[in-house]
Every structure is written in C-alpha cells, then in structure tokens.
Structure 1
Amino acid sequence: MPHFEDFYADKLRGSLGVTDAESVLDLRGTNRPTSEASLNDMLERSRFGKGKTVAIRFDPPPEGGGETLFQPVGRLLLDAKRKGIVDRLQTLPAGDGLGFYVALAGKTTRSNE
C-alpha cells in the first residue's frame, strides 16, 4: 500500500497472526520456567541474526479460570521492546488462540550498544 505509512497499512490489513509469522515459538504444554527460558533464549539469539517475525503461542486458562503465560511472557516481551530487541508486539487474533505476534529487530536494524 504505497500511499500509507506501514503502521496504518497494517491496521487496514488486520491483525497479523500465526500464518503471517516466519516462525512459531509454541509454548503450549510447558511450565512457566521452561517457557521463560525458551523465550529468553529466542530473544538473546535474535540479537545476533537478521530480524524476523515470530508467533508465540501458549495455553488458554484452564477450565474454571487460572493463570496463563500471558502476563509473564508479555512482561518479558515489553522489556525486550524497551531495549530495542523487539520492534513490534501485538496479541494474536482470536482465531489463532492465546499468544503474541512479535517482530524481532535483529542485528542489522539495531544500534550498537
């Protein structure tokens, strides 16, 4: 869409989901420490490669309510966004389940720290 800035063009296209991502980090069925370790590993490795998009998926709340990985994973991703490791962060569309769509900055687009 040549007449729109990327931000507004993406709004018109709708939410980006699992099928739009270059890869998927599937944390369904994992516990919190394992999920956090996997996410931290992905974020650390992304600092040395090219930028890419990742769909991060995790389990919905158990029947009757309970904790999910939404808040702890969200906090880690927001911190990574503040540090410049993550360029874009949004929730997955409802049809894709619970998770995030993340655009990792990669080595080439980040400034030297």
Structure 2
Amino acid sequence: MPHLEDFYANKLRGSLGLTDAESVLDLRGTAWTKAEASLNDMLERSRFAKGKTVAVRLEPPPEGGGETLFQPVGRLLLDAKRRGWVDRLQTLPAEDGLGFYIALAGKPDKGA
C-alpha cells in the first residue's frame, strides 16, 4: 500500500483546517453574545454572496475543565446547515485547535 504524506492523507480523510479556509473568524476570548452576533452576521451576508470556506476558531476549555463556545456555536452552525446556508461543517483538526471548518453555500444560482 502506498504511503501518503500527512498533508495528502488529511485531505483524503476530510480534515480541512486553517490553511484550507479562505478566511478565519477568530472567536477566541469572545463572549457568547458577541460571538453569536458575529456568526449570524457572517451567515446572513453569505446568503447574498458567492460561497466560501471559513475556519471558526474557538477558545480551548480552561485548565481543569469548564464551558466553551464549542457547543452553542456548533448548534448555531448545525441549524444553518439544516437551512441550507452551510454546505459542509466539520471540526478543525487537532493541530489547528478548537473550532469548525465550514463551507458557506452562498447565493443560490438563479437557474437552479
């Protein structure tokens, strides 16, 4: 069986990360209300623009455990996926930290 470099093996596995995204939304150190507003703004704008890929970075849990934005952000993005605003939603690979890689659907073609 041939050996693939990690970069290409990750592409086959679907672990797209920060370097693959067209832009990065860094929500590290952000309160939920501001993070929610930023995400909703990004999703709303994407409905009227060309689709693109975005890496959403989140703060890791504090030492000893605690809450993060991972779950509420994940729910919001999953809801956007159900609405058809997000084509692809996955977690970032471990080496990129906590967050999500998303492909925004963008404005639908008029011919479709």
Q: Same fold (TM over 0.5)?
A: yes
Percent identity of paired positions between Structure 1 and Structure 2: 81
> Is 2:101 the partner of 1:101?
yes
Q: Secondary structure at the residue paired with 2:42?
A: helix
Q: Which has the higher strand share?
A: 1
Return the letter of the residue paired with 2:22: E
What's 2:12 paired with? 12
Alignment RMSD (CA, Å): 2.2
Instruction: Give 1:12 deviation, angstroms.
Output: 1.6
1:50-69 equivalences in 2 (<5 Å): 50-69=50-69
> Which residue is 2:3 aligned to?
none
| Residue 82 of structure 2: aligned partner | 82
Q: Which runs of 5+ in 1 are unaligned?
A: 1-9
Deviations 1:35-81 (A, max 9, x none): 01100100000000000000000100011110001100000000000
Q: How far, CA to CA, are the matches of 1:36 and 1:59 in structure 2?
A: 14
Taking structure 1 as the reference length, the TM-score comes to 0.85
Which consecutive residues of structure 2, in runs of 5 or more, have no partner in the other structure?
Answer: 1-9
Give the AA of the match of 1:71.
Q
Q: Compute the TM-score of the two structures, normalised by the length of structure 2.
A: 0.86
Distance 2:95 2:12 in 1: 18
Shift of 1:108: 3.2
Amino acid at match of 1:78: L
1:84–1:110 Cα contact (<8 Å) kept: no
User: Which 4+ residue blocks in structure 1 deviate beyond 2 angstroms?
Assistant: 108-112
Q: Does 1:28 align with 2:28?
A: yes
One-letter identity of the residue aligned with 2:65: G
Change (3 A) 1:53 1:66: same
Q: How many residue pairs align between the two structures?
A: 104
